[in-house]
Each structure stands twice: as C-alpha cells, then as structure tokens.
C-alpha cells in the first residue's frame, strides 16, 4: 500500500513584516504561523489596517517578508530571482481584487485570455480557454462586452474567470466583495463556494463577518498576530446562475 503524504499547500512559520515610515518602523506582521491544506476555503479576517493585505501579498509573492519561512506547495519561497518568482506566481496563484483590475479597453474574453498570452498559449487555445471559463462563471453571452458595460458583480466574475483560467493551485482574493452590494456579494461568494467545492484551495481576505462565515475556516488577525483560528459551519449561499 502506498501512502500519500498530505502536504500543506501553504505553510508559514514566524512570518514578520514591517514598513519603514520616515525614521520609524511599523511592525505589521509580528510572527504569523499558518498552515493551509488543499481544498480549504479560508477567510482571513481582521479590522482595517490589521495587515490582511500585507499577509496576502506575501502569500501571493507580490511582496517579501522580512523574516520567517514560507513554503508554497512544498517549495521554499526565498531568494528567488524575479523570473523564477514570476513563474511560480503564474503557475501556483490566481488573484482577485476588490477593484477587479480589469483592463478597460479589452472585452471580457480578452481580459480572461490575457494572462494565458503571457503563459505562452497560442491564440486558439487562449480563446477556447477564456470562453470556457467565462461560461463557468455564467458570462459566456457577455464575452464581447467591455468592463464599462458590465455590473460590478459581472466584473468580479470576469476577474474570477481570469484567475481560474490559468488553473492555479490557490486562489487569493483580497476583499473580493468590498466594492459590491450585499446581494451581489452573495452571488460572488456563491461562485467562490462553487469553485471551492470543485476542489480549489481559496483564501478570502475580508473585514466582514458575514462574508467570513461563507468560508469554512476563519483566521483572525489582530495587532500583527493570529488571535483566532476556527473551523466554522459554512453558510451556503444559493447558486448564482
Ligand atoms: P488591511 O489589509 O488589513 O487593511 P494592510 O495590510 O493593508 O491592512 O496594512 C496594514 C498596515 O500597514 C496599515 O497601517 C497600513 O497603513 C500599513 N501599510 C500597508 N502597506 C504599506 C506600505 N507599502 N508602506 C507603508 N505602510 C503600509
Ligand atoms: Mg486590505
């Protein structure tokens, strides 16, 4: 019989980060330990300024910690060249932001297809994959529309399709519902739950408790440390389409 070692998709130990402001240091993360297993749906909770985005940016390899150890899919993230870091980022991570970060002059399909271009996929495959993922988020019929012609919820679904099209190991979402009304927030969280149910590991940064409760586990940050880490009874949101 073979036994498969269960690895943590994310494993961090004593992670620390300060920002230099003038002559003083703002110590934002003061020693974070966190393990995340494959298939988890985790909310990172905390009030504004508690360091949630700082943590997510380090996990997303968009920023570096000052101290501590970070293993992503069992790979030590340390001292990597820009190119290697960019490759890992493309291979392992998908990002969703509060402000959608879509390119305004590109339509929905082109927005989803763009990262695939940078990953070296040919035009036909890019188009097919982009359409496939737009369909998954219920927006196939909106493929040729510009972001300005889409509602906030639709824009965020396009951003989710764009993140998912690269088939990342982990999806990182920083306040994905922060710019949306509560009904639309529920639709986006329903989609996130659906993607998680299909097996994707997802981290959702939020300062809203009701959004956090749509995840399966809530990690709470306060004063630079994790003050609570609990599994919760997930509030299931109805299907979005
Ligand atoms: P959150 O996402 O929980 O609101 P952040 O991680 O964005 O918190 O910020 C944590 C603290 O670090 C805040 O006080 C913020 O002002 C500060 N901060 C964030 N980014 C920078 C930066 N690049 N330079 C200086 N201070 C920063
Ligand atoms: Mg933030």
- The rounded distance, in Å, linking the Cα atoms of 44 and 54 is 11
Segment 1-19, tens digit of pLDDT: 666 667 799 999 999 999 9
Closest approach atom of ligand 1 to CA 50: 3
The CA 42 to ligand 2 mean position distance, Å, reads 16
Number of structural domains (the chain) is 1
Segment 156-168, tens digit of pLDDT: 999 999 999 999 9
- The rounded distance, in Å, linking the Cα atoms of 6 and 241 is 34
166 belongs to a structural domain: yes
8 belongs to a structural domain: no
114 belongs to a structural domain: yes
Best of 15, 25, 44, 49 to mutate for ligand 1, by most ligand atoms within 8 A of CB? 49
185 belongs to a structural domain: yes
> Whose alpha carbon is nearest atom 26 of ligand 1?
19
Domain that holds residue 131: 36-64+82-231
115 belongs to a structural domain: yes
Count of beta carbons in the 10 Å neighbourhood of residue 209: 11
74 belongs to a structural domain: no
Best of 15, 16, 28, 97 to mutate for ligand 1, by most ligand atoms within 8 A of CB? 28
> Whose alpha carbon is nearest atom 20 of ligand 1?
54
CATH code, domain carrying 193: 3.40.50.300
The CA 188 to ligand 2 mean position distance, Å, reads 18
Pairing of strands 225-231, 67-72: unpaired
107 belongs to a structural domain: yes
Name residues contacting ligand 1 (CB within 6 A): 19, 21, 26, 28, 46, 48-54
For tokens 């994905």, the residue is: 176
- The rounded distance, in Å, linking the Cα atoms of 203 and 133 is 20
186 belongs to a structural domain: yes
Segment 74-128, tens digit of pLDDT: 999 998 999 999 999 998 999 999 999 999 999 999 999 999 998 899 999 999 9
- The rounded distance, in Å, linking the Cα atoms of 127 and 109 is 7
């Amino acid at each position: 019989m073979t036994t498969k070692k269960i690895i943590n998709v994310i494993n961090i130990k004593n992670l620390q980060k300060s920002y230099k402001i003038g002559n003083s240091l703002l110590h934002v993360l003061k020693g974070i330990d966190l393990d995340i297993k494959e298939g988890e749906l985790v909310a990172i909770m905390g009030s504004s300024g508690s360091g949630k985005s700082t943590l997510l940016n380090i996990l997303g390899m968009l920023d570096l910690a000052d101290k501590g150890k970070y293993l992503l899919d069992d790979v030590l993230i340390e001292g990597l060249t820009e190119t290697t870091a960019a490759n890992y980022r493309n291979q392992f991570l998908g990002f969703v932001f509060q402000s959608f970060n879509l390119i305004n002059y590109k339509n929905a399909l082109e927005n989803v297809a763009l990262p695939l271009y940078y990953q070296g996929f040919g035009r036909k495959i890019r188009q097919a994959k982009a359409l496939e993922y737009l369909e998954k988020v219920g927006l196939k019929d909106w493929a040729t529309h510009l972001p300005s012609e889409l509602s906030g919820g639709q824009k965020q679904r396009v951003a989710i399709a764009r993140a998912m099209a690269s088939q990342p190991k982990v999806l990182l979402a920083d306040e994905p519902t922060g710019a949306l009304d509560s009904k639309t927030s529920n639709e986006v969280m329903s989609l996130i739950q659906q993607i998680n149910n299909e097996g994707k590991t997802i981290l959702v940064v939020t300062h809203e408790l009701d959004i956090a409760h749509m995840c399966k586990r809530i990690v709470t940050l306060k004063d630079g440390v994790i003050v609570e880490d609990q599994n919760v009874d997930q509030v299931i949101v109805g299907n979005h389409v």
